Amino acid sequence: MNSKSNSNNQNPKTLVVATGNPGKLKEMQAYLADLNWELKLKPAEIDIEETGDTFAANACLKASQVAQATGNWAIADDSGLQVDALGGAPGIYSARYGKTDEERIGRLLRELSNKNRAAQFMCAIAIARPDGTIVLQSQGTCRGEILYTPRGTAGFGYDPIFYVPAYQMTFAEMPPELKHKISHRAQAFQNILPQLPLVLNS
């Protein structure tokens, strides 16, 4: 009985991150460093098709399915770039706008041309119980504008063309600690962090 009890006590201490990207796992570990939980990547064999029509829907889909498949709590995020003049595109298709970051940036700049450059990064986060029930959701945004040419070598994706006027830098030019503080993902986590200990330890 003791071994069974210990197993049950240990199981909820695992929080599965619904991604196969080690970089995203590391980023989430930084945001959740104060939680007494072990974050793990989802098993590679679990492949979630993102069929939602919003960032929130996709985050919920990934968190729920990974939680059910692993029998653990799960956290997922879905994020992307929304350009005002393109009606919010590329949006949920941000990662599918091209085969490489260079192709995605090139396509976006061609489509935007000389239109209004206002844009925002959006991030949605969802947390699911082991049975797949979504118990927490959050969203965060970071407003900025799209440059005509890339600047900076840090970051990934659209970071070299996403300029934040308040800091006079693109995401790709920012020190990691600054991006970690002001990004769309940071805003989403700040909205959800106060509630996390209560939910995860319930």
| 80: β partners | 122
Q: Is 77 a catalytic residue?
A: no
Please identify which of the residues 78, 84, 101, 131 carries the catalytic annotation.
78
Q: Which residues are catalytic?
A: 78
